[in-house]
Structure 1
Amino acid sequence: MEASAYCFSRRGRSPRLLGLLICIYGALLAAILLYDAALWLMALLALPTLPALYDLYTDPEAGLRLDGTSLRWHSGRRHGAVTLDEIEHMRLDTRWDFSVRVTAVLCNGKKLRLPAESLPPHRLLESEMLARGLRVERHHFTPF
């Protein structure tokens, strides 16, 4: 019996992102009003939030679909697909910041890195891949 298709999607606009941006901009504004912080310094500190602000505005969608024959993913304008027959194994690398990178290693030696924003929680993804007969390799805290 074939497993049903597993679908995962997420949007760029989320209550968590909105709350985080409100807290950051509130702290920067409080620093300006209460402590007379330099405007140029607060503007410099606000620069790293611009990509998050852009995601809040554009609300990009990212996701993944895994069925009995193929693996498909999309993130904004990027998308990709590969059949399960082409995949030698899936590699899950835990990085030093505890994030997990997922790479499809193909039979021809080519490696396809899946975008992080299109991935579900890694334990759930691993169980879904194993249910479809894919070999999964886990590598913890590798420098590469």
Structure 2
Amino acid sequence: MSPGAAAYSFSRRGRTPRLLGVLICVYGALLAAIIFYNAARWLMALLALPTLPALYDLYADPTAGLRLDDAAIRWHSGRRHGELALDEIDHMRLDTRWDLSVRATAVLRSGRRIRLPDESLPPHRALEAALMARGLRVERHHFTQL
């Protein structure tokens, strides 16, 4: 491990301008379908149902993040929190999924695997660099089925 390396920290919030923009566009399109095409309101309401989790994130503004220092990796996502000492970790596994998202799993020396919550992860290249700066081995696996 590199002694004295600065702690790496990442956080994000649920309420973002991008989320607000997407919701405005979706609800605007549904409303336009009702007004201009006389679409069935029950059908438009059914199409709006998948947006409810995003609407909740806009309202509740949950936070998620990760902090990595020379002793431990800590993460939080909403009400969930976790912490692992770096000396417990054998290696970190970064899996690129078919949808191009990256999942991070801590493989412990005991063989146990702990998946870090997706929403608490920083961009994968920054995470990989921060992990390697602390002497952790990182395994990359592309397009595997989990």
TM-score, length-scaled by structure 1: 0.99
* Structure 2 CA distance for aligned equivalents of residues 59 and 9 of structure 1: 12
1:48 matches 2:53: no
* Structure 2 CA distance for aligned equivalents of residues 108 and 32 of structure 1: 58
Any gaps of 5 or more consecutive residues in structure 2?
Answer: none
Equivalence for 1:24: 26
Among 4, 7, 13, the alignment partner of 1:2 is: 4
Q: What RMSD over aligned residues (CA atoms) do the two structures have, in Å?
A: 0.6
Q: Secondary structure at the match of 1:22?
A: helix
Equivalence for 2:125: 123
Cα shift at 1:143: 1.2
Equivalence for 2:112: 110
Aligned AA (2:31): L
Cα shift at 1:2: 2.1
Q: Can you list the C-alpha shifts for 1:34-70, whole angstroms capped at 9, x where unaligned? A: 0001111111110100000000000001000000010
* Structure 1 CA distance for aligned equivalents of residues 107 and 42 of structure 2: 46
* Structure 2 CA distance for aligned equivalents of residues 17 and 127 of structure 1: 28
Deviation beyond 3 Å, 4+ runs, structure 1: none
Equivalence for 1:68: 70
Equivalence for 1:141: 143
Equivalence for 1:15: 17
What is the number of equivalent residue pairs in this alignment?
144
Q: How much identity, in percent, do the aligned residues show?
A: 75
Equivalence for 1:86: 88
* Structure 1 CA distance for aligned equivalents of residues 110 and 91 of structure 2: 11
* Structure 2 CA distance for aligned equivalents of residues 102 and 48 of structure 1: 26
Equivalence for 1:96: 98
Any gaps of 5 or more consecutive residues in structure 1?
Answer: none
Cα shift at 1:7: 0.6
* Structure 1 CA distance for aligned equivalents of residues 53 and 108 of structure 2: 32
